[in-house]
Amino acid sequence: MKSFLSRKNVILFIFFGNLLLWIFPSDVVELIARDRHTLLGRYSVEKMTLQIFVLLGSVITLSLLLTKTKQQLKKRCFFYMALFLFLPPCLLVVDLYGRFHRDLRYIDNKSGIRHRHPGEKYEIVHKDIPLAKRSYPNIAPGYPPVKCKLTIDKRGFRNLEEYENCDILALGDSFTEGSSVSDEDPWPIRLSKKSELSVYNLGMSGSNPQDYFVRLENIGLQLAPKNVICMIYEGNDFRGSGSVQDRVEKKTSWGKKLEFYFKSSPVIVSSKMLMINYLSSINAQGQVPGAEILSWLPLSFPPGDQAKHYAFAPKRLLSLYQTKEQFRETSGWKSVATALEKMKKLCLEKNIRLLIVYAPNVAHVALPLLRDKLPAEKVRSFLMIRSRTELPPGKKLLEELLLQIDSAETVLAEFCQDEEIEFISTTKTLRQKMAEGVQVYYSYDQHWTAEGHNVVAEQIYQYWKSEDISEK
């Protein structure tokens, strides 16, 4: 045993252990498909972090093992002990300072309502490019850069006017708030201009139907709306999360608190961004073995020089691969159904008209337009990146996927019919406009462009115009 743990063997073990970590890359194809950062063209941020920590630990261990005299060993041991005793308190001070001086985009109040800083105004330029610098082998140009103004009212929501009451209350997530578009573009604003009715936007990025109900109950009713439009986005709303308050209450155990603390640490976030800024550009254009399974993305149509391009992550497409029966059994659907039942009950009590609007993800809209041109085996390989189970052969999988692609939407439509809740699907309208060459989604962003918001606002307006909304 002693011979095995000899200094020479330990040094060899450290050397080859580090070598193996650096030789074997992360799954770069998966990182590209998910638009995750790749460092040095080979490693995920998590793997790179592990490698750096192991390397630092190895250097310290080797410096002790290679010490020639006991006196030098004592000095080095004392130095490292002092370093380990001194460094954590310093990092903690820096972390606390960063926490107290950083600007948080969102506030979660005691009522479980997430909102932005009241009265906030700022401008950004949204660039429609992949988040990661190492991306698809056939990268295509995205939507032109957009100058976005964002104005927040006194309640912490995106509204250009300070409403005290409104005709229509809009509920939803980033698709309602208007992510990546300017103040004049979100569909609630467009609907207000078309209908000449006051529309208050209670949409908030990162929320879900449980949150929508909480906002309706605690803020929306104060505005005495005659109508409520609740937008359900299939990309996030069916994930099964509870409300903001539920999520806050779940972080009561020390383990959860510690996990949350580390993930939100300014020191950790800054270190991560430092690696991304300096290491993601290196070898970003190098060849990636196996990347041919991504060659069919981004999708492009209509044909010709005026083609628009659309990309999406595997999970967006995989979420559409389920039957109606399977979808009904998911916790995500049950959570949405519960929230909508509560919303319906509250609206009935207050004599408020409720309309549910379905917002499909970009894969749902785009895929059927190219059903005869999709490479079945590449689509299967793409989905296997995130699938936990083995999938059928490519051709069969593609047939099933296109057959089941409307499952979630159909279940929600049937639910609304049974509950006597008005329902609009925007899927066919968006698909029609997409086929005509109107870029309704960004290329590398899941959200609608200004044109997409206008298409949706026009569909809602035409529906309610035919129903004489102003008289109800």
258, burial (CB in 10 Å: exposed 0-12, middle 13-18, buried 19+): exposed
- Asked whether residue 339 is domain-assigned, the answer is yes
Residue 252 has pLDDT above 80, yes or no: no
Q: Long-range contacts made by residues 399-405, C-beta under 8 angstroms, separation at least 24?
A: 400/321, 401/317, 401/320, 401/321, 401/367, 402/367, 402/368, 402/371, 404/320, 404/321, 404/322, 404/323, 404/324, 405/320, 405/364, 405/367, 405/368
Position 455, amino acid: V
The answer to whether 152 and 118 have CB atoms below 8 angstroms apart is yes
* Short-list 112, 342, 107, CA closest to 243: 112
Give the pLDDT of residue 248. 44
Element at 229 (helix H, strand E)? strand 227-233
Structural domain tally of the chain? 1
Q: pLDDT for 129-161, tens place per residue?
A: 999 999 999 899 999 999 999 999 999 999 999
* Short-list 427, 436, 391, 421, CA closest to 408: 427
- Asked whether residue 291 is domain-assigned, the answer is yes
Give the pLDDT of residue 471. 46
Please tell me the number of Cα atoms within 13 Å of 135 on its side-chain side: 17
Q: pTM of the entire structure?
A: 0.91
Residue 250 has pLDDT above 60, yes or no: no
DSSP 8-state secondary structure symbol assigned to residue 33: H
Give the pLDDT of residue 231. 98
- Asked whether residue 249 is domain-assigned, the answer is no
Angle in degrees, CA 255, 260, 265, rounded to 5: 130
Give the pLDDT of residue 468. 60
Q: pLDDT for 215-248, tens place per residue?
A: 999 999 999 999 999 999 998 999 865 544 444 4
**Alpha-helical regions (H) of 231-313:** 244-250, 254-263, 266-279
Helices 376-384 and 394-404 sit at what angle, rounded to 10 degrees? 80
- Asked whether residue 244 is domain-assigned, the answer is no
Give the pLDDT of residue 245. 47
Give the pLDDT of residue 240. 63
More confident residue, 286 or 440: 440
Average per-residue pLDDT for the chain = 91
Provide the phi-psi class of 206: left if phi over 0, else alpha when psi is between -120 and 50, else beta. Answer: left
Q: What is the mean pLDDT of residues 276-289?
A: 92
Give the pLDDT of residue 419. 96
Q: What is the mean pLDDT of residues 82-99?
A: 87
Q: How many CB atoms lie within 10 A of CB 403?
A: 11
Q: What confidence category does residue 112 fall into, taking pLDDT thresholds of 50, 70 and 90?
A: confident
User: Does the N-terminal peptide bond of residue 302 adopt cis geometry, omega within 30 degrees of 0?
Assistant: yes
Give the pLDDT of residue 105. 82
More confident residue, 397 or 101: 397
- Asked whether residue 181 is domain-assigned, the answer is yes
Give the pLDDT of residue 120. 92
- Asked whether residue 322 is domain-assigned, the answer is yes
Q: What is the mean pLDDT of residues 110-132?
A: 90
Give the pLDDT of residue 11. 86
Q: pLDDT for 408-452, tens place per residue?
A: 999 999 999 999 999 999 999 999 999 999 999 999 999 999 999
Structural domain harbouring 216: 117-238+287-471
Residue 406's domain is classified under what CATH number?
Answer: 3.40.50.1110
Q: pLDDT for 320-378, tens place per residue?
A: 999 999 999 999 999 999 999 999 999 999 999 999 999 999 999 999 999 889 999 99
- Asked whether residue 432 is domain-assigned, the answer is yes
Give the pLDDT of residue 102. 79
- Asked whether residue 448 is domain-assigned, the answer is yes
* Short-list 452, 400, 461, 399, CA closest to 427: 452
